[in-house]
Structures are given as structure tokens and as C-alpha cells.
Structure 1
Amino acid sequence: MSRILIIDDEPAICWSLKERLADQGHDVRIAASVERAEQVLNDFSPEVITLDVRLPGQDGLSAIPEFRERLPETPIVIMTAFGDLQTVVDAMSRGAFEYLVKPFELPEFLSVVSRALQSRALGAKPAVSIVTGDQMVGRGPAMQAVFKQIALVAPTEFPVLITGETGTGKELVAEAIHRHSQRRTGPFLRVSLASLSPSVIESELFGHVKGAFTGAVENRPGLFDLAENGTIFLDEIGETPLPIQVKLLRVLESRCFTRVGSGEERTTNARLVAATNRDLTSMIADDLFRDDLYHRLKVFAFELPPLRARREDLKPLVEYFLSRHGSSAIASLTDEFWQAIEQRPWNGNVRELRNAIDHAVVLSRGGPLMTEHLPPAIGPVSTMVNPGKQLGVAVADWVQQQLSESSEQSTTDLYRRFLNVAESALFSEILTRTQQNRSAAAKLLGLDRATLRTKLGANAS
């Protein structure tokens, strides 16, 4: 039997939780306020405390440090109906064991209490770190889970991998992780690898020395130099060329790197947060992404839900985006406009919603928001981009076209023609990346130089 204290001012919730816990043999006490709980603690030493945030008198969040000082071994489970990111982070960073958003299911509550009791038995103690606020919006369970993950991982030094569709807010999450970390006073540097050519990525990340290549007229630091005591956000990590992936792996494992054109080893303490809308596991299977780098990046990983999986957040998101234009914009929201918002699939996710609201506010010119003020909807998008599947579709289309245009006799050389087309494209790209160095190209392809030379000659014919 374990001792549990429930601090909540809603009698129905207290009765329901107490009954279920008592059925499991626990000794349960109830307090409707922090002040009443302090009186209960005079003759009752709980092994777990469940604590509501909004209470008459002192609020639950401000009471966490007091309870932790008085009962340092006792896990505190926070319960609230108001689950924004700041509340989650405040609760977790002040030492709460877990965070439950009302209304929750009783099995979920009982599971959390059970884990809290196990944690107390093992002597685990949460880290405490007071941090500041954010503007991320989400009341539903999907985003509450994201908020909780941000609160847990931010105070650590682990690399983070964020996945999710385009427009789900991966950069906002990266910023929140930095803002709620011990590095928040340091730089937060971001780069979209998809926007850079392969020849530029290495210099951008690691820097270069004067004379390293044509146009390198002076020494230039890279992001791993500039982000000292800060965070680097690598967006579209799936676009990283394989040779650069090797260098990133080295930085993650040893904190060491060298600038382009230099043999001098440098060190960095920058934290790495990466994001992608690609299916990296499929890229690994297609030899487009390194398995070891993937597992090193995803020490802590989570996927952002698309907007269609969090429809309950549409209203707070719309109100938030309208609030940026002033209170009059919120007042201009009509039932017709809201119905149009609810009916759209929002394939472009939160980014599409934000842009649509801004577009509508501009066109409404201060008047009521109407359906015609919305821009055209974005068409369906794939949930995660898979280059291997895209290639397979393209190959299938090419084969079907060749078969439909060829006679029965001419299809006998289809295999040779396919190899010529595929190898020519592959060899051309590899030679470009190796600056026409055939030895380097052969090494990347897993061929000897003589075989590559023969194949280049055959493809040229």
C-alpha cells in the first residue's frame, strides 16, 4: 500500500481518482488547495503528490519548489486543463515528475502514478532548470506530447532529430529547444541544407582557409565555429551529401572538425538539432543516408503531427494568428469563414494556415472575414518524401513508355538501354561531385578505375 495526496479543487475529479486508487489498496488523502495540503502534510507523508495548476489561493506551479524542498523524495504529478508549452516547461523544469492534461483517462492516470511510485523506489530525482516562454500553440494531446518532449530534452546536451511534413513547425520546435536550454544566451544558427549546393555545404558548416578553393580569399569560420556555446539547426538534413555526412558523424562523436583546405583540427561544443521531411530509414535502405549518422542524430527524436491529426488546434491557431493583427481582426471572424477553415484539408499544415489567415486579413481591409478572402487550398502532399519510391515510380513510367513504343523485336535490348540511361545519370552526378576525378568517383561507386573507364566508354557510345 502506498500513500498518495491529491490536490485539486474539483470534488468530482478528486472522488473519482480516490476511488480508483483506493481500489488498488492505496491510502489517499485529498486537499482542495495548497494551503490545505500543507496542513495535511503535518501528519501524512505521501509517496506521490498529484497537483492541479489552477487552485484557489496559491497556484500549483509556484508550490512545486516548496513541496520538493519539504518532500525531496516524493514525485509530483501535475494536472491541468491549460496545457500551453510554457506551463509544461515550467512544470517539468521546476521538478514535476509527469504532466497530465485534463480530461485524461483513468488508466492513463493510474499508469502515471504507478511509474511515479517506481521512480521513487529507485531514488530518481528530476533536474530543475527555470526557463522562459514561447509562442507555440496547441491544446490537443498530439501537441501536448510534443511540449512534454521539448521540456524533457531541452535541458540536456543530446542531439535532436525532428521529423514531420513540411509546414508542421520543425524550426519553431528547434528554437524552443534552444530557448529552454542552458544555451539560451548563446547563438541559435540555422541553415537549410536544401538551399545550398553540395560544394558549399562543407564550407558553410566547417569553414575554410584562404586559398582552399577558387574564391577563398580569406579565412572564414563555419557554423561549428560560430555556434560555440549555442545551437546549430540543420534543416533538411536528408539533403546532406554522403561525404559531408561522414564529417558530421565525426563532429557528433568527437567534437572535432577541420576547415576546408586546412589540416588543423578544431573543436566545438555546439549542440546539433536536425530536421527533415524525408523518410530517412528508406534513404538508408537506398544507400542515400548513413545508418550510423541517423542513429547518432536520433539520440532523442520525435515526429511533429500534421495539422489534420490535430484538428482540435484549428481554433486556437486561427485565434492566435488573428491576434497578431489586433483585437479587431478576431472580432471580424464570421461563421462562414470559420466553416471554410474547418472544411479545408490543410495539406500545407500550420504554415499554410498562417499564410491563409494573413492573406484573408489583408483582403478583408478591416471588414468581416469571408470565404472569398482565403487563397486557393494547397493540393495533397506526401506524408514523408521517399526518394527511393520516387525513383521507382519514374523507372516504372519509363519502362512502360518504352514497352508501348517498341516493337516485340526491339524490346530485347531494353535492359541494356535502361542500364545506359541509369548509369549515365549516376556517373555524371558522381563525377560532378568529385570534380571529374575518376579515381575518387570509382571509390564512391565501389568500382575499380578500369571498370569505371570501360563503363564510361560504353555509355558514351
Structure 2
Amino acid sequence: MSRVLIVDDEASICFAFREFLVDEGHRVDVAASAEEGLTIAEDTPPDAVVLDVRLPGIDGLTALAEFRKRIGPAPVVVITAFGDLDTAVRAMEGGAFEYLVKPFDLDQAGEVIRRALSWERGEDRPVEEAPGGGSEALIGSSPVMQDLFKRIALVAPTEVPVLITGESGTGKELVARAIHRHSARRAGPFLPICLAALSPGLVERELFGHLKGSFTGADQDRKGLFELGSGGTVLLDEIGDVPMGLQVKLLRAIEQREVTPVGDARPRPTNLRVLAATNRPLGDLMAAGQFREDLFFRLSVFHLHLPPLRDRREDIPALAEHFLRMARTSTTADLRFTEEVLAELRARPWVGNIRELRNAVEHAAIVSRGQPIRPEHLPPAMTGSGQTAPAPVDELVPRHLAEWAAQEATRLRDHPGEAALYDRFLELSEPAVLQAVLRACQGNRARAAQVLGIHRATLRQKLNRYAISTDRERDA
């Protein structure tokens, strides 16, 4: 049996945790403020602490150091409803065992506390170190982004290589810069190198340097980027495009921390951290013999995957507002989004991810000429082929639907007492549309109403009319 201290000013959170942990056989103390929690911790030291960030009086992150003085190495699980990279970094820097963002699943939180108690007993000690610093470069409150913040905070202070994967435009370089900024190398240079932009004959010279006379035109010695980046971090962007002949040299440079310039037989020591990024499936490249497995495993000691924007649609309004603030000028200081355009932004496929969203916001800021931004101010949505998405009539109204409408119109003309054609059409088509949108919005009615462009009350009436229930309701 262990003793757990819960410090949170939300009575519902405390009640849920207490009931869960008591059922697990633990003793539970509850405090509504950091000051009260510190007093309890001093009188009866807990085996683990669950600590909220936003508290009356002293906030949780500030109180974390004081808890450390009273409870020693006992694990602290930090919870917050306002998660960002800075909060995650400060929590991990203060020695937090884990970082949870509200709302969270109680079973998930319970598993974290079980691991924390196992860690306290020495059964499951983590090996990651804690970072420092703060940044607002990455934006997002979605669960996937909160997990990304936590993983960045864990890996930043280490020296291990990190492989960053994700579709084009998801922000891989931003993640790399955040890792550098929160590392012990933050005072050193950060060198992003786009390998795909270099010709195969230049990559080795650019990375490792060359000696005078080593090839035609080499009229002086030149240091490579691996030497110029000494004390800092290098990002090898588009690592999947590295020629096979260079991959073995790159592996040696990372493992042995030394490079051999072109035309030289003597290796030179290097002092830099290597990060790599790619939007290509390295697994497929390895299977095709186009990428070395040993290089892949060396680069992917720690792997961060960035989700596409379509998988974190709840972050779109915050990202759009951020880009709009950047686009404002002295003459367009009052620029704002209408609800209609926010619904349109959430509904788009965003095949170009965050980069496409930024371009769309900047385009709309210009076209709107200082007026509230409406859907017509946005550029056309893009398809996977890079073309604007068409909406021809023959796609929107299939032939069988047109034939049905013609037949029904003829029949109803002779039977005026029956339901009107439009009402019959809605009865057939609306349920399918409502169900599809609800599935896309994961049963969130508020979000579905925004996508449909109707009021929540209207959506509720339609769902009741057609007896449509969400997955959440069916599970309940």
C-alpha cells in the first residue's frame, strides 16, 4: 500500500482520483492548494504526488521545487489544462515523472500513477534526463501535440541522435530547433542542411570539407558543416535522399564523432549533435536497398513523428490566429476571422499541412483588405496532386440522383398531396451527411455543427428526427 497526495483545486478531479486510488488499495491525501499540499507532505511524506499547474496562490510549477525538498525523489505527476512546450519543459526540468493534460482518461492517468509508484520502489527507473528553457515556437493543445511536447522535453538535454518524421509542411525543422533550444548546446550554432538541395557530388564536400587541390577548383582548404557546427546541432533534412555511397561515411561521422575531409587521410574530431528529418518512408527505402539499416538505427535512437494537420484539427484555430497575428500590419490591425471561415479551415484536407495553412491565412489577409476574413477570401483548397480541388456539377449531382429527381418530380406533379421533392430529398440524403460528419468529428456535436454550418440546436433536432446517435452515446 502506498500513500498518494493529490494537489488540485478542482473537486471533481480530486474525487475521481481518490476513488480510483482507494479502489487500488492506496491511502490518499487531498489538498486544494500548493501551500496546503506542502504542509501535508511535510507531516506525512507521500510516495507519489499528483500536482496541478494552475492553483490558487503558488502555482504548481513554482511549488515543484519545494515539494522536492520535502518528498525527496518521490515521483511527481504534473497535470494541467493549459499544456504547451514551455510548460512541459518546465515540468520535466523540475523533475516531474510524467505530464498529463486535461481532460484525460482516468484509466490512462491511473496507469501513469502505477508506473510512478513502481519507479519510486526502484522497479521502473526511467533513463531520460530533464531539459530546460522555454519556447512558443510550436503551437497546439491537441493530445498528439501534448505528447510531442513531453517527448521533446525528455530528449532535448541528451546527446542522442533524433529522427524526426512526418509529411511535408508539418514543422519538422521547428521541432529540431526546439530540441536545440532546450539542450545544453543552445549557445552553439544550429545548422539546418537540406540534403535534397545538394547535388550528389557536393554533399560530401559540404558536410566534411576538403583540402586545397583535392579536385579541380579547390584553391584553398575549406571546413565542412560538421566542423563549422562544432558545439552546436546539425539538422540533416531529407535524410532519405542521401546517396548510398555517402551513407557509410555519414554513419562513421556520427558514431566516431570525426570526419575525413575530401583529399585528406587524417580524420578530424567533431563536436556536434546530429538530428535528422524526412518525409519519406525509410522502412520502404531499406526494404528496397536504398537506405542502410545501420544508419537508420543510429539516427533513430529517439524517434519523433509529427502528425498531419488533418489529425489535429482542434489546433487549426490557434494556428490560424497565430499566422493572422504575424500577417497583421498597421493598416490591418483589426483583421479577424468569422465563424464561417473557421469552420471552413477545420473542414479542409490540408494536404500541405501547416505550411499550406499559413499560406492560406496570408492570402486571405491580403484579399480581405482589412475586413473580417470570410470563406471567399481563402485560396482554393489543394488536392494531393497539388491542384485546386474542383467541384463540378456532375460530381456533386451524380447521374442516378438526377434521374431519381426527374422521376420523383414527374410523380409528385400528379400527386400534389405527398411530401414536396426537396423534403423527400432531405429525408434520403441528410442522415448520411450527418453521420459522415459526426464520424469525421469523432462524435463531437459542437465541432460537427461548425463543419455543417448550422447551429448546435439545429443539429440536435436533426439527430433526434432521424434517431441518429454518436458512438459516444452508444457506448454510454
Q: Normalising by the residue count of structure 2, what TM-score does the alignment of the two structures yield?
A: 0.78
**Whole-angstrom distance in 1 between the partners of 2:314 and 2:301:** 30
Q: Where does residue 453 of structure 1 map in the other structure?
A: none
**Whole-angstrom distance in 2 between the partners of 1:31 and 1:131:** 29
**Whole-angstrom distance in 2 between the partners of 1:318 and 1:21:** 41
Deviation at 1:42, TM superposition (A): 3.3
Contact 2:166 2:279 in 1 (8 A): yes
Deviation at 1:112, TM superposition (A): 0.3
Amino acid at match of 1:233: L
**Whole-angstrom distance in 1 between the partners of 2:342 and 2:2:** 50
**Whole-angstrom distance in 2 between the partners of 1:129 and 1:149:** 11
**Whole-angstrom distance in 1 between the partners of 2:267 and 2:151:** 35
Q: Where does residue 432 of structure 1 map in the other structure?
A: none
Q: Where does residue 189 of structure 1 map in the other structure?
A: 191
Deviation at 1:224, TM superposition (A): 0.7
**Whole-angstrom distance in 2 between the partners of 1:177 and 1:319:** 24
Deviations for 1:70-123, whole angstroms, at most 9, x for unmatched residues?
Answer: 222210000000011111111111110000000000111110001101111118
Deviation at 1:312, TM superposition (A): 0.9
Q: Where does residue 72 of structure 1 map in the other structure?
A: 72
Q: Where does residue 318 of structure 1 map in the other structure?
A: 320
Q: Where does residue 58 of structure 2 map in the other structure?
A: 58
Q: Where does residue 335 of structure 1 map in the other structure?
A: 339
Contact 2:129 2:155 in 1 (8 A): no
**Whole-angstrom distance in 2 between the partners of 1:290 and 1:2:** 48
Amino acid at match of 1:81: A
Instruction: Identify if the C-alpha distance between structure 1 residues 93 and 217 changes in structure 2 by more than 3 Å, giving closer, same or farther.
Output: same
Contact 2:85 2:134 in 1 (8 A): no
Q: Which has the higher contact order (CA 8 A, sep 6+)?
A: 1
SS in 1 for 2:28: strand
How many corresponding residue pairs? 382
Deviations for 1:267-320, whole angstroms, at most 9, x for unmatched residues?
Answer: 112100000000101101111000100000000012110001101111111111
**Whole-angstrom distance in 1 between the partners of 2:119 and 2:271:** 32
User: Does 2:361 match 1:357?
Assistant: yes
Unaligned runs of 5+ in 1: 383-461
SS in 2 for 1:214: coil
Instruction: Identify if the C-alpha distance between structure 1 residues 129 and 331 changes in structure 2 by more than 3 Å, giving closer, same or farther.
Output: same
Q: Where does residue 137 of structure 1 map in the other structure?
A: 139
Provide the aligned C-alpha RMSD in A.
1.6
Amino acid at match of 2:301: V
**Whole-angstrom distance in 1 between the partners of 2:261 and 2:69:** 49
1:372 to 367, 372, 376: 376
Q: Where does residue 446 of structure 1 map in the other structure?
A: none
Q: Where does residue 48 of structure 1 map in the other structure?
A: 48
Deviations for 1:236-278, whole angstroms, at most 9, x for unmatched residues?
Answer: 0000001110111001211121001111210112100000000
User: Does 2:46 match 1:8?
Assistant: no
Contact 2:129 2:158 in 1 (8 A): no
Deviation at 1:370, TM superposition (A): 2.1
Contact 2:335 2:370 in 1 (8 A): no
**Whole-angstrom distance in 2 between the partners of 1:177 and 1:362:** 34
SS in 1 for 2:327: coil
SS in 2 for 1:238: helix
Instruction: Identify if the C-alpha distance between structure 1 residues 335 and 289 changes in structure 2 by more than 3 Å, giving closer, same or farther.
Output: same
Q: Where does residue 104 of structure 1 map in the other structure?
A: 104
- Please show how residues 272-291 of structure 1 align to structure 2 within 5 Å: 272-291=274-293
Contact 2:188 2:231 in 1 (8 A): yes
Amino acid at match of 1:62: T
Contact 1:322 1:329 in 2 (8 A): no
Amino acid at match of 1:349: N
**Whole-angstrom distance in 1 between the partners of 2:32 and 2:335:** 37
Deviations for 1:132-161, whole angstroms, at most 9, x for unmatched residues?
Answer: 323210100011111111000000000000
Unaligned runs of 5+ in 2: 387-476
Instruction: Identify if the C-alpha distance between structure 1 residues 273 and 360 changes in structure 2 by more than 3 Å, giving closer, same or farther.
Output: same
Q: Where does residue 444 of structure 1 map in the other structure?
A: none
**Whole-angstrom distance in 2 between the partners of 1:381 and 1:159:** 33
User: Does 2:172 match 1:170?
Assistant: yes
**Whole-angstrom distance in 2 between the partners of 1:264 and 1:153:** 33
Q: Normalising by the residue count of structure 1, what TM-score does the alignment of the two structures yield?
A: 0.80
**Whole-angstrom distance in 1 between the partners of 2:173 and 2:58:** 36
**Whole-angstrom distance in 2 between the partners of 1:157 and 1:301:** 14
Higher mean displacement: 118-127 or 226-235: 118-127
SS in 1 for 2:95: coil
Contact 1:209 1:262 in 2 (8 A): yes
Contact 1:3 1:26 in 2 (8 A): yes
Deviation at 1:336, TM superposition (A): 2.6
**Whole-angstrom distance in 2 between the partners of 1:329 and 1:149:** 36
Amino acid at match of 2:74: T
Contact 1:336 1:371 in 2 (8 A): yes
**Whole-angstrom distance in 1 between the partners of 2:266 and 2:168:** 38
Q: Where does residue 93 of structure 1 map in the other structure?
A: 93
Deviations for 1:154-199, whole angstroms, at most 9, x for unmatched residues?
Answer: 0000000001100000000000000000000000001111111000
Amino acid at match of 1:313: D
**Whole-angstrom distance in 2 between the partners of 1:260 and 1:77:** 51
Deviations for 1:405-432, whole angstroms, at most 9, x for unmatched residues?
Answer: xxxxxxxxxxxxxxxxxxxxxxxxxxxx
Contact 1:363 1:373 in 2 (8 A): yes
Contact 1:308 1:346 in 2 (8 A): yes
Deviations for 1:377-403, whole angstroms, at most 9, x for unmatched residues?
Answer: 221269xxxxxxxxxxxxxxxxxxxxx
SS in 2 for 1:134: coil
**Whole-angstrom distance in 2 between the partners of 1:30 and 1:273:** 43
Q: Where does residue 347 of structure 1 map in the other structure?
A: 351
**Whole-angstrom distance in 2 between the partners of 1:95 and 1:63:** 12
**Whole-angstrom distance in 2 between the partners of 1:329 and 1:101:** 33
